[in-house]
Structure formats: C-alpha cells, structure tokens
Structure 1
Amino acid sequence: MKLIVNNSDKIGIFTGLLCSIHCLATPILFVTQSSFASANLEPIWWDSINYLFFFLSFISVYYSVKNTSKNFMKLILWTCWIFFTIIILNDMIIIFEISELFSYLSAFSLAYAHVHNLKYCQCKDVECCNN
C-alpha cells in the first residue's frame, strides 16, 4: 500500500498513457481482425480493460490529492478524473456521439495533471499534506 501512496502520480501517468495506447490500438486491432474474420466481434475482456483504467486512475488520483502541496491541484486532478470517467463511460454505452479525440484528450489531461503534480506540487514533509 505504501508503494501506491508514494508513487500515485507515477501510477497515474502510466495509467493515462496506457489508456491512450489502448484507445489508439483499438481501431487498428479491430480493422485488422475484421479483415481476417467474418464476424466483427470484440472480445469481452477488451472492454473490461476500461474498468481497470477507472480503478487505477481513481486510486492514483485519490492518493495524489492526499499528497499534493497545492490545493488547486486537488481540483484539477479530480476534474480531469471526472472528465476521463464521463468520456470513457460514454464511449462504452454511447449516450452522445462524440469524437474519439475526447478519449485521448481526457487520458492525456489526467496524465499531464499527474506529471505537473509530481514535478511541482510534492510535499517535503508530512506537515504540508495535512493542510
């Protein structure tokens, strides 16, 4: 658990980038697959990866918010996570037709928020995080 707490921003960056790769790879994989198969079915596990991204991104934001030294970063991290979650959920259940670009933007925004927090907003001692 301490590993997650101490590296929450790094986990968040990794998760955001991995999600972006997943989003970029999906169309390529399914176009390639459909050219070899008669059915255009995506594996169940492929969509379930989104739930893993929700979980990992939530945990990383939760602990990053607890450890940040800047109050504005708490708002930015949670806002990016909510944007990310809404966009990905919409992509899964299609409430609104939106460009795939928003999926990439939400994942990169969350990863960038973690990069900024890691670089500029870390507590130097236990006292500053308790504010």
Structure 2
Amino acid sequence: MKTDDLSRKADYIGITGSVLCIIHCLVTPVLLVSSSLLQNSPLRAGYLSLDYIFIGINAVAVYFATRHVVSVSLKRSLWGFLAVFSIALVLEHTIPFFTYVAYAASAGLVISHLVNIRQHRLTHAH
C-alpha cells in the first residue's frame, strides 16, 4: 500500500482500530470467565496482548491522518487521545479505572477521525 493511499484511508483505519478495540475490551472479560478454551493457555496471553496491536494500529493511523491536517486543534486532539488511549491500555491492569479511560479515549479517537474526514471533505469540496 502506497503512503498516499494510507494517508487517504488513515482515518478509516483509525476508526476501525478504535471500534475493534472497544469490542475487544468489552468481550474479553466475558470470554475469560465463560470459556474454558482461554483458561491457562498460551492463547489467553495472545488474546490479551491484542491491546498493543491496537495501540500500534492507532498510532500509524494518527500519524498518517495528521500529516496533512491544517487544523492544529484537530491534530492535537488526535495525538492527545492517542496518548491517553495508549497510557490507559498499558495501565489498565494496575488500576481498573484506566479501562474506562481507555474506552473514553477510544471514543475520542473515533470522533476526532470523523471530524478529520469531514474537514477533509469540506476542504476539498471548495
């Protein structure tokens, strides 16, 4: 995939990554409690480490989405939500409150990417 294609699709990739992370975070406790497949198996560690993959996907998406953003506040919101999202995911195992912070930051990333898509369309429509 060329970097021009990635820049155009970065917001959609970021939205998809954030929504998948929210779904993953909501489903994980249910699967860990109800599934004997994930009890004391290497698959459990792999499933729980998906958080780091979501951080990586969102970091790449924010990087490419902000390369040509004119609005400084939008650029700061995308990077700020990414920072809060990353910190909250890393620390969610220490304090359960960070799980809710990660949900909020993920929602903030989705909203910021949607605003970026709208801004991009308005800018190129004129």
Taking the TM superposition and a 5 Å limit, the aligned residue runs for 1:109-128 are 109-121=108-120, 123-124=123-124
Question: What residue is the counterpart of 1:105 in the other structure?
Answer: 104
Which moves more between the two structures, 98-107 or 11-20? Answer: 98-107
Which moves more between the two structures, 18-27 or 68-77? Answer: 68-77
Are residues 1:11 and 2:10 paired? no
Using the TM superposition, give the Cα deviation of residue 3 of structure 1 relative to its aligned residue in structure 2, in angstroms: 2.4
Using the TM superposition, give the Cα deviation of residue 99 of structure 1 relative to its aligned residue in structure 2, in angstroms: 5.3
Question: What residue is the counterpart of 1:128 in the other structure?
Answer: none
Hey, what's the Cα distance between the residues in 1 that align with 2:23 and 2:96?
A: 21
Task: Provide closer, same or farther for how the CA distance between residues 99 and 84 of structure 1 changes in structure 2, counting only shifts above 3 A.
Answer: closer
Hey, what's the Cα distance between the residues in 2 that align with 1:101 and 1:14?
A: 19
What is the aligned length? 120
Structure 1 gap segments, 5+ residues each: 126-131
Using the TM superposition, give the Cα deviation of residue 105 of structure 1 relative to its aligned residue in structure 2, in angstroms: 1.1
Q: Secondary structure at the match of 1:7?
A: helix
Are residues 1:26 and 2:25 paired? no
Whether contact under 8 Å (1:69, 1:121) holds in the other structure is no
User: Which consecutive segments of 4 or more residues in structure 1 shift more than 6 A?
Assistant: none
Cα RMSD for the two superposed structures: 2.1
Compute the TM-score of the two structures, normalised by the length of structure 1.
0.80
Question: What residue is the counterpart of 1:66 in the other structure?
Answer: 67
Q: Percent identity?
A: 24
Hey, what's the Cα distance between the residues in 1 that align with 2:102 and 2:40?
A: 22
Hey, what's the Cα distance between the residues in 1 that align with 2:102 and 2:76?
A: 20
Whether contact under 8 Å (1:8, 1:61) holds in the other structure is yes
Taking the TM superposition and a 5 Å limit, the aligned residue runs for 1:67-86 are 67-86=68-87
Compute the TM-score of the two structures, normalised by the length of structure 2.
0.83
Whether contact under 8 Å (1:8, 1:64) holds in the other structure is yes
Using the TM superposition, give the Cα deviation of residue 117 of structure 1 relative to its aligned residue in structure 2, in angstroms: 1.0
Structure 2 gap segments, 5+ residues each: none
Whether contact under 8 Å (1:30, 1:40) holds in the other structure is no
